[in-house]
Structure 1
């Protein structure tokens, strides 16, 4: 049942901002000045933490929709990846791992309410979490070009709960909160702990994963605590591959160097993935509390790229689509005098070029060479990456007179170091190495916050909640230079051999460097009950950025309590998302597929001469306007929330479509300072080139009852999301990209969970529904590589048994009936070595079974 109609709201021990976003609802067990609750304001209410997915997860007394997922809820999933856990718990939340997507395989981009990952603000203990250094360049449609935090480094064992605000909140937090806010609350126990060992693998017999995690709470004298959580895991690669027809044909022609399969399409191998989170607090006295928390994390991943055909791969083996072999002239490179008579005279349009007399004669001439001499069967580069992540925050909070305060400072960094194995720098000829250190990205953010709040009385309005605060933030994005062989234009570059390590060109001195930006923000938040039944709130925030100027945003919220069982809520807000420093300055080379053909695409900063030549301009912030309305119904054991939202975003920032570099532009590009434009197939850059309107409905419901002599709890999370592109620039955004933005995720997604428990035994059955969506393969939106995918249902099951009071054994399976992901259609199946479409809302690897042992002390 609901609380009394005139419920007063207090503020949590976390950042005051989380309380403001939740319209004053307390979301932690601690409250400022809460050591003596009987002497504190009697109108301070502590909302109970929900302990089961089947119980109410949204806070019924909030004028905006909030989900609270407890640590126990998070464990009811075979995956140890935080994102997999949340996908099954939060409506309109989507994600999927990306195979063969360059650096995007190292992070897990997510979507909340149909918007990209960097439109959802991530907090840890109420403090802004730093971004990942990796930008999702491809493989996500909606997420193309997004640079959000990597929440997969946060282990479930470290969490007390996760709070998800599904509403625009830029007026409280600043940039990135267009879609909502996710707050990860760390455990704060001063005693006890747990050790858990999990192991599982896919039905196919691959992807075996082992996870060991532990948590311990320790007292810090009688007045404080230190809570430490650690996790270590490894995961083998998966393969959902078939032999490519082109590789099979060459093998049939007698080329014994062809691998089967020629490439592996699946999850990367994860090695030495460890993370440690520490949370601590200490009461100096009844009114003052010190706190600190942070993490150190690292993981290594190795994944595959696409196969390079030894007959026709452009600028490596051929420059005319495989009609003739690309042959290097040694004399021309060394002294400018042509010495090889086989240039353009070795036919590659044959079953096996290695067996031809012309090829053998060319190889016998010391003045000639081809890359077939190093990689006779072609090659599939392997992408390697190491992610190193750390953060540290510390602060002091308490009360002084009538004021509650929270002063904090912190820093966080995320560094991704990249490498390639089994590749080439073709422009170096036969002297090329085959393994490369290609450089690094590093994102660093430093934040300082002052937050204050108190209750005031104005006329007949008592206990008006008034809050204000200040934030200073600096962020930098640094590109680290790769080894020389990974980026150098070797002596054969002028003969049309590709420059740099193939598949992922290393970062050269022209790309390396650090760029910074800082900003300040000031906000005010006021809320009050105008009557016993009518709550209103107003928030205002001003931000000023060193790079592009200032912005002012507001938010209005309201809640009307109609009866003890029914209340209505609504909100309206403006928002913004500042372009990240990474989006403004990133440089990269990626391999894309258009109509089934691999092309090399250069990602340039929008003000780079190459990008500027094709329309690139300085980025501006996205701007948004949001409307939301809904209701909350609670009656005995039934809980239901229904919320409608509408989010208009103008000037959305995303990666442009591939823009072909035309031969007629070569001279002008050289004059603008672009080196070897003839070796660049296409360019892409970040741009504010389209406007969208996203609307949807979120439904969260639960019901508890006695069933089968035990406790049964049913819960439902349903989301309908619809995005329309209102305006776009046809020069930089093609119709295929528009369709991915509009239909790239299912319009309908639902999760229905039945949890059943007895004394020592508990079970959980979860059905996941994924509606139709637009499926693409490797960013290919042509008719050849895309189609509308069918709806699907997956079933997850888990059974847990308490062997002893402190020892529990669990077994289960995700996608227990092995529901297949959408297969590539006839004519494309296997053409690129894959079975399934790269895009999709659930795991393409199929069923996954697991076992888990948990010991608590």
Structure 2
């Protein structure tokens, strides 16, 4: 055993001893697809994640990791990396997020029930920059989350993905509370592939075309250049019914009402282009150069809430639809008094077609009075539904050198020196909407501005093995890191934020639905931090290994933090071992969370209102309980078993993560008139149309616990080779402490939105000319929520879906694939609406037009089928 381990370490130690290398062996999540004639059935997968020592065999990992091969990722219907990972890692959840502002453009993902920015993302072992998108409407769990944009990474560029399911902030710094995802790029110097995939949903929409390719090239005789691209376009989907209020306007012969007026579904994606490159060059026998990076850009366009032409505040009515909001265009009265347009008859019944009301006819007439008086029904009689979207651009570049010390005290040790820069820009646009304060002169398209996230990292890491007379060398790693993070706000076009001439008459300011960023809110906000760490692994015996990590980090904003991690594994028998870890961690507030201001439209008790997000140190935020943000602090521990005998591999791991002072967006707090005046004095835009305020806060504590079970078994079957894989996750989050700033409903969302039980069971089969798989996906009970509104919430029943795929190898180079996700078209839980004043009586009426609860863990779009052709060379 000892001799085998030493041989393994000597052969690959140089390759994996890198700066952000996280080295641990992992569990199989599924066997990579391999042709029978060249495949080895017994392959151990090695991860570069978890520690900074040399790798160990599958059964010797002290912390749990899933390894998903690049071929495995390509065996699925979708092309969004989030969806691909969700199908392979049960503890990872992703929601569709329709009508969720920028969260629809860059969807957040949740590992182990924690927000998107509680999982550290690495690319080739290096920290990945954040997205510029902050999920202002993040569905409770992700409210205010600002994590990296994982969706830009195409599966064709990847050698494998390593999912460390353990807290690792003591090793890698902020964000690694839930775990780490390390995306490893392909590094072949020859060969490649090209594929075209076409798919659509069973409903006949969401048509998606994906073209992708990869090529490995020699970079002189001592290096490689591996290049990948992906181009994708996807049509939108709609899982909507007509809103009853919109239907009443249609029945009353009101013009301009769309059917459906409001869309719940996947957004439209256009010109989604991604380029990835990975370059390596051997400089000498003891050193090498590396460089990798990407350029990605896409346009995303989604829906918003329908603006009712009689009730929408600050546009059509300011008294709930009792009277029409009418503007005096010269503002002087001029002896001409605009008539009051009552929208209810003498019996109190609503009059849905205002064109039949005599007072409105005076306003719409081409007379002196009509030219002086204005209502938006004249230009938008059927109301309107804004279309919100953005252009997302993501770029990164990492350059470094690594190698072996050839003399001195560190002779035989390894070093890694690198620098990286990452930039993500989200340029927003909103169409089919108005700046109501401009009256009839308003444009219908606006550019509300940009957010830009820029990050720079420098790392220097050293590792060396020392002989202390233990089972084998004690690995000691240490390093320094410097990080700078800048969040920039660029103002929108003037029409998107200007207060027009009708402002004082009660008309709303700025582009309705997403007002532009004012010049006063624009600017750059920067923070720097540095860190030092030490990481030691001590093999006390052949059967007993322990690891120790300590990290000090200092931020120029809130100060310093020190965290530790202890992990170990003991081999009880040849087949069975026990492993575990104890660690502390932290998550620093992002610069964007500490400084951003924004106005968003959301539902409050079923009514659309505008809400302002303010910095926590804004005077109004402070009045409501806001304070300067501090880092989250966490304590976590795991305990698990690994059993391996013959072709059976099984791991069971319990985890417990306690997080204090969790960072999130507060509940939306209703403003008093006095607070509105304070907002105006502080220069906050669009105050007259703002009904609520929220801010980022450290307000609540949580405990998340769960169990991961991973099992694999392989055998000869049906004249071929079969692999059976099972992955199960139980996850439970409890909010231990909170205040009114967080609110009861958000606590319910944190505790119940995600299913506590998730599992996948996969049968993969390989033959000479065919391969395929069938996957069963189980989703336990979860809270169904519609429009982020408490009265709609229910506990949805457990359910399951099936995925299947079959590939035919037509020639040595050409393969043809057909497959489907959710092959039996399992519907998500249908929305139930309640009559006012009751919690039990169901009605067919659907107030907001959605068919399914958007918290469905497998989406709302139903079955999806696809075909794919691949040329490999």
If the TM-score is normalised by the length of the shorter chain, which range does it land in?
Answer: over 0.9
| Whole-Å separation in 1 of the counterparts to 2:586 and 2:357 | 62
Mapping of 1:331-342 within 5 angstroms?
A: 331-332=330-331, 336-337=332-333, 340-342=336-338
C-alpha displacement at 1:206, in angstroms?
A: 0.3
2:390 alignment partner in structure 1: 385
Tell me the alpha carbon deviations over residues 752-776 of structure 1, each in whole angstroms, 9 at most, x when there is no partner: 0001111111120000000011111
Unmatched runs of 5 consecutive residues or more in structure 2: 30-42, 48-55, 345-349, 406-410, 833-841
1:141 alignment partner in structure 2: 140
C-alpha displacement at 1:18, in angstroms?
A: 4.9
| Whole-Å separation in 1 of the counterparts to 2:844 and 2:4 | 62
| Whole-Å separation in 2 of the counterparts to 1:242 and 1:3 | 67
Q: Determine helix, strand or coil for the equivalent of 1:563.
A: coil
2:652 alignment partner in structure 1: 642
The reply to whether residue 194 of structure 1 matches residue 193 of structure 2 is: yes
The reply to whether residue 735 of structure 1 matches residue 752 of structure 2 is: no
C-alpha displacement at 1:666, in angstroms?
A: 3.6
C-alpha displacement at 1:13, in angstroms?
A: 3.7
Q: Determine helix, strand or coil for the equivalent of 1:157.
A: helix
Structure 1 contact 23–527 (Cα < 8 Å) conserved: no
The reply to whether residue 376 of structure 1 matches residue 381 of structure 2 is: yes
Tell me the alpha carbon deviations over residues 199-255 of structure 1, each in whole angstroms, 9 at most, x when there is no partner: 000000000000000000000111001000000010001011111100110111121
Structure 2 contact 807–818 (Cα < 8 Å) conserved: yes
| Whole-Å separation in 1 of the counterparts to 2:661 and 2:6 | 42
Mapping of 1:488-499 within 5 angstroms?
A: 488-499=498-509
The reply to whether residue 806 of structure 1 matches residue 813 of structure 2 is: yes
Greater mean deviation of Cα atoms: 465-474 or 597-606 = 597-606
Structure 1 contact 130–412 (Cα < 8 Å) conserved: yes
C-alpha displacement at 1:495, in angstroms?
A: 1.2
Tell me the alpha carbon deviations over residues 292-344 of structure 1, each in whole angstroms, 9 at most, x when there is no partner: 00000000011111100001101110000000001111232xxx557552364
1:570 alignment partner in structure 2: 580
| Whole-Å separation in 1 of the counterparts to 2:644 and 2:544 | 18
C-alpha displacement at 1:822, in angstroms?
A: 1.0
**Shift in alpha-carbon separation, 1:263–1:91, aligned structure 2, 3 A:** closer
| Whole-Å separation in 1 of the counterparts to 2:430 and 2:217 | 44
**Shift in alpha-carbon separation, 1:58–1:534, aligned structure 2, 3 A:** closer
**Shift in alpha-carbon separation, 1:122–1:460, aligned structure 2, 3 A:** closer
Tell me the alpha carbon deviations over residues 510-544 of structure 1, each in whole angstroms, 9 at most, x when there is no partner: 11111000100100001111122110111000000
Structure 2 contact 721–766 (Cα < 8 Å) conserved: yes
C-alpha displacement at 1:60, in angstroms?
A: 2.5
| Whole-Å separation in 2 of the counterparts to 1:599 and 1:49 | 52
| Whole-Å separation in 2 of the counterparts to 1:188 and 1:794 | 35
C-alpha displacement at 1:47, in angstroms?
A: 5.4
1:758 alignment partner in structure 2: 767
C-alpha displacement at 1:829, in angstroms?
A: 5.3
| Whole-Å separation in 2 of the counterparts to 1:427 and 1:670 | 17
1:78 alignment partner in structure 2: 77
2:863 alignment partner in structure 1: 847
**Shift in alpha-carbon separation, 1:256–1:15, aligned structure 2, 3 A:** farther
Structure 1 contact 49–70 (Cα < 8 Å) conserved: no
Structure 2 contact 266–302 (Cα < 8 Å) conserved: yes
C-alpha displacement at 1:135, in angstroms?
A: 1.1
Among 373, 382, 404, which residue is 2:414 paired with?
404
1:819 alignment partner in structure 2: 826
Structure 2 contact 421–456 (Cα < 8 Å) conserved: yes
Q: Determine helix, strand or coil for the equivalent of 2:749.
A: helix
Mapping of 1:615-626 within 5 angstroms?
A: 615-626=625-636
| Whole-Å separation in 1 of the counterparts to 2:502 and 2:713 | 70
Tell me the alpha carbon deviations over residues 143-182 of structure 1, each in whole angstroms, 9 at most, x when there is no partner: 1111000111000000000011000000000000001001
Tell me the alpha carbon deviations over residues 84-127 of structure 1, each in whole angstroms, 9 at most, x when there is no partner: 11111113111122111111111121111111110000000000
Mapping of 1:315-334 within 5 angstroms?
A: 315-332=314-331
Structure 2 contact 385–432 (Cα < 8 Å) conserved: yes
Among 485, 495, 518, which residue is 2:528 paired with?
518
**Shift in alpha-carbon separation, 1:281–1:675, aligned structure 2, 3 A:** closer
C-alpha displacement at 1:15, in angstroms?
A: 7.0
The reply to whether residue 22 of structure 1 matches residue 24 of structure 2 is: yes
Structure 2 contact 90–727 (Cα < 8 Å) conserved: yes
| Whole-Å separation in 2 of the counterparts to 1:170 and 1:278 | 28
Q: Determine helix, strand or coil for the equivalent of 2:166.
A: coil
| Whole-Å separation in 2 of the counterparts to 1:69 and 1:245 | 46
1:556 alignment partner in structure 2: 566
Aligned residues, how many? Answer: 827
1:347 alignment partner in structure 2: 343
Mapping of 1:682-701 within 5 angstroms?
A: 682-701=692-711
**Shift in alpha-carbon separation, 1:330–1:698, aligned structure 2, 3 A:** same
| Whole-Å separation in 1 of the counterparts to 2:145 and 2:771 | 40
**Shift in alpha-carbon separation, 1:579–1:323, aligned structure 2, 3 A:** same
2:477 alignment partner in structure 1: 467
Structure 1 contact 411–445 (Cα < 8 Å) conserved: yes
1:502 alignment partner in structure 2: 512
**Shift in alpha-carbon separation, 1:416–1:20, aligned structure 2, 3 A:** closer
| Whole-Å separation in 2 of the counterparts to 1:339 and 1:257 | 34
The reply to whether residue 478 of structure 1 matches residue 488 of structure 2 is: yes
Structure 2 contact 324–343 (Cα < 8 Å) conserved: yes
1:34 alignment partner in structure 2: none
1:834 alignment partner in structure 2: 850
Structure 1 contact 326–343 (Cα < 8 Å) conserved: no
| Whole-Å separation in 2 of the counterparts to 1:456 and 1:352 | 84
Greater mean deviation of Cα atoms: 95-104 or 175-184 = 95-104
**Shift in alpha-carbon separation, 1:704–1:154, aligned structure 2, 3 A:** same
**Shift in alpha-carbon separation, 1:552–1:11, aligned structure 2, 3 A:** farther
C-alpha displacement at 1:729, in angstroms?
A: 1.4
The reply to whether residue 313 of structure 1 matches residue 312 of structure 2 is: yes
| Whole-Å separation in 2 of the counterparts to 1:105 and 1:672 | 31
2:358 alignment partner in structure 1: 357
Q: Determine helix, strand or coil for the equivalent of 1:83.
A: helix
Structure 1 contact 232–274 (Cα < 8 Å) conserved: yes
Greater mean deviation of Cα atoms: 386-395 or 79-88 = 79-88
Structure 1 contact 239–267 (Cα < 8 Å) conserved: yes
**Shift in alpha-carbon separation, 1:736–1:828, aligned structure 2, 3 A:** farther
Mapping of 1:285-324 within 5 angstroms?
A: 285-324=284-323
**Shift in alpha-carbon separation, 1:278–1:675, aligned structure 2, 3 A:** closer
Structure 1 contact 110–116 (Cα < 8 Å) conserved: yes
Greater mean deviation of Cα atoms: 678-687 or 135-144 = 135-144
2:123 alignment partner in structure 1: 124
Structure 1 contact 58–67 (Cα < 8 Å) conserved: no
